[in-house]
Chains A and B, each alone.
Chain A
Amino acid sequence: MNHFPQAWGRPRDDVYGAYDASYLHDQNGPKAHTQSPIVTGTSVVAMKFKDGVVIATDNLASYGALARFTNVKRLRQFNTRAVLGFGGDVSDMQYLDRLLSSLSIRENYSAYASSADSADATEASAELNAKNLHTYLSKVMYKRRSDFNPLWNAILVAGLDGDGKPFLASADLLGSTFSAPSLATGFGAHLAQPMMRRVVPNEAAVANTTREMAEKAVRDAMKVLFYRDARSMDRYSIAIVSKEGGVEMMEDEQLEGQSWAFADRIRGYGTQVN
C-alpha cells in the first residue's frame, strides 16, 4: 500500500513520466495583457482659436525605430463637430475606431437623431458633440486601465461643445483627462506645447486668436517636431473644426518651408561622416 495519501490517485512519474506542463495554455505567468505598445504613432498637437480648433498629426506609424507604415491617418472625424487625434498604439487606435463607428451608428439610429432630420432647430444638439465624445472615451480608457488591460493611446478630442464653443481635451491610457487652450501628446508636449502657449497662454487669449494664427502655429509646431522628433515624418494630416465650416480635413499635407541650412555647419550631421 502507498503510505503517502497525497499521492493516491495521482499518476506516478516512473510509470507515466512527469506531468507535461506544455498542455497548460500559458507557461509564462499570468494572462498577459498589453505590456507595451508595438506599432506606434508619435505626437498629436492641437490648439483652440476664437471659433474652432486646429488639430494635427503626422501620417507615420513606427515599429520601434523603423518607420513602418508611412500613410496611416491618425486623425479621425467623428461627425461634423468632433475630430480625434490618436497617439500611441495603432492597433488600439483601430479598435477605438471600430468602437466609435458602432457608437456613431447606434446614436444615429436613436430617436433623437431621426427627429433631427425634420426639425433643423434640434439638429445640432441631437448628435454627440466633442465634449460628449471625450467623456465617453475617457470612461472607456479608465475602465480598461482599471482592468489592467489598457488601450495604449494618448488621444486629443477637438471640436465644439454643446454651446458651439471650441472644445479641446485629452484622454490617455490611464484614464487621465484634462483640457487646455492648447494640447500636445508625446514629444509634442515638450516641443510643440511651448510654441502654441505663446499664442494662446489662456482662455482669454483664445478669443483674440484667428483661424490663420492657430493654423500657422500648429503647422510650425509640426515642422519643429519633424526637425527634432526622430519618430516623425514630413507628411501630415491637419483638421480644422469650426462652427461655420464644420470639419475641414486635409490628410496628405507636405511640410513646407523647411530649413536645413544649420545642418552643414554641424560635424557629422549630414552626408559627411567626420
Chain B
Amino acid sequence: MGSIFQGAPIPEGPGYSFRETPAVRQAPGPSSAAGERQHGFYPYTDNGGSTLGISGADFAILAGDTRSTSGYNINTRYAPKLYKIGGDAPDTPPIALSVVGFAADGAALAERLDTIVKMYRYQHGKPMGVAACAQRLSHLLYMKRFFPFYVAAILAGLDESGRGALYSYDPVGSYEREQCRAGGAAASLIMPFLDNQVNFKNQNVPGSGQGHALEPRKPYDLPRGTVEELVQDAFTSAVERHIEVGDGLQMMIITRDGIEEVYRDLKKD
C-alpha cells in the first residue's frame, strides 16, 4: 500500500475526511421532512396579568392582579403574583417581590430569592438589606442569561434610611431603582399613567409662562392614601382594556411595621 502514498497531492486531489457530520443535516428546504428538525417543545408560556410598584417617603407599595391565563382561558381567578421575601422574623426588614410573565419561572425565582435571604441571615447573623437583596436578584436572573426566567420582576422594601425602595428588572437581570414601575401584560397601559401621575411628566405649573418659560411641575413624595388610589385606578382602567387582567387586586404595603396585605375585587369578565 506504500506505493499509494508518494509525492505531492494529486491536482484536484483526494478529499480527506475532515467533516465527521453527515451532509444530510444541511440546508433544510422549505417544508422538507429531512434536514434540521426543530424542537417541538417550547419551554415557556405567558400567564398574563400585570403588576405595579410605587415607592413613597416611608413606604413602598407592590400590587398585582390575581388572574392566571393561558391563551383565552382563565386558569384561576386567584393566583397571587406577590411574594414575601426572607420570612417574618421580628427584626427582618420587610421585602416583597412581584413576578409577572411565566408563572412557573416566577415561583421558582421567588423561592430561590427567599431561600437566599433566609440563608444569609443564618450565616451572617444579620438580615440582608434591600440593596443587597436587589443586586442578588439581578445575579439570580443573569445566572440564567441563556435560558432566562421569563419574568418582569419588581422588588420593594425600605432602604437603610427608611425610605421606600423599589427596584425593577428585565428577564436577564438589568435593574434600576425607580419611583414607580408597571410590569406585565398591561404595563404599556399603566406606565404612561404612572409617568404622568407619579413623576408629573407633561405637567406644568399653571400660569408659569409661555413656551420655554413654562415650568414643569416638580415631583414630590406622594402620601400613602394617594398612592393606593393611583394603584386602584390603574388596575380598574387596565381591566377595562386588557383581557388578561382582572379578577382580583392584591396589594402589599411595605412600611417599617411590616407588610400589610390588601385584597380587593376586580371585574371578573
Q: Which residues of A contact B (CB under 8 A)?
A: 1-4, 6-7, 10-16, 18-19, 21-22, 24, 27-29, 32-36, 138, 142, 145-146, 148, 150, 170, 174-180, 183, 189-190, 193, 202-203
Contact = CB atoms under 8 A, between A and B. Distances in A.
B36 A29 contact: yes
B37 A29 contact: yes
Given A1-B8, A3-B9, A180-B75, A34 B41 contact: yes
Nearest to A35: B40
Contact of A11 (B16, B40, B41): B16
Contact of A142 (B9, B21, B104): B104
A6 B104 contact: no
Interface centre among B15, B22, B75 (most CB of A within 10 A): B75
B1 to A, nearest CB: 8
A24 B19 CA distance: 12
Interface in B84-118: 102-104, 107-108
Nearest to A32: B37
A41 to B, nearest CB: 19
Nearest to A16: B17
Contact of B108 (A27, A142, A178, A180): A142
A15 B73 CA distance: 64
A190 B73 CA distance: 8
Given A13-B17, A19-B20, A32-B37, 9 more contacts: A2-B9, A18-B17, A24-B20, A35-B37, A148-B39, A170-B75, A175-B104, A176-B47, A179-B78
10 contacts: A10-B18, A14-B14, A15-B14, A29-B36, A175-B104, A176-B45, A176-B104, A177-B107, A179-B79, A203-B78
B16 to A, nearest CB: 4
Contacts of B19: 19
Nearest to B45: A174
Nearest to A152: B41
B69 to A, nearest CB: 10
Interface of B: 1, 4, 8-9, 14-22, 24-25, 36-37, 39-41, 43-45, 47, 68, 70, 73, 75-79, 102-104, 107-108, 147
- Which A-B residue pairs are the 7 nearest by beta carbons? A35-B40, A19-B17, A14-B14, A21-B22, A180-B76, A175-B104, A13-B15
B201 to A, nearest CB: 37
B73 to A, nearest CB: 5
A35 B39 contact: yes
B9 A174 contact: no
B16 A178 contact: no
A178 B18 CA distance: 52
A29 B20 contact: no
Contacts of A15: 1, 4, 14
Contacts of A13: 14-17
Contacts of B147: 146
A236 to B, nearest CB: 22
A15 B22 CA distance: 19
Contacts of B108: 142, 175
A137 to B, nearest CB: 13
B148 to A, nearest CB: 12
A74 B149 CA distance: 32
A176 B101 CA distance: 11
A184 to B, nearest CB: 10
Contacts of B47: 176
Nearest to A19: B17
Contact of A174 (B1, B14, B68, B104): B104
A16 B1 CA distance: 12
Contact of A28 (B8, B37, B78, B102): B37
Contacts of B9: 2-4
Nearest to A20: B17
B43 A12 contact: no
B41 A150 contact: yes
B103 A178 contact: yes
Contacts of B40: 35-36
A250 B14 CA distance: 72
B14 A27 contact: no
Contacts of B1: 15
A189 B37 contact: no
A146 B43 contact: yes
B43 A178 contact: no
A13 B14 CA distance: 6
B43 A148 contact: yes
Contacts of B16: 4, 6-7, 10-13
Given A1-B8, A19-B19, A180 B103 contact: no
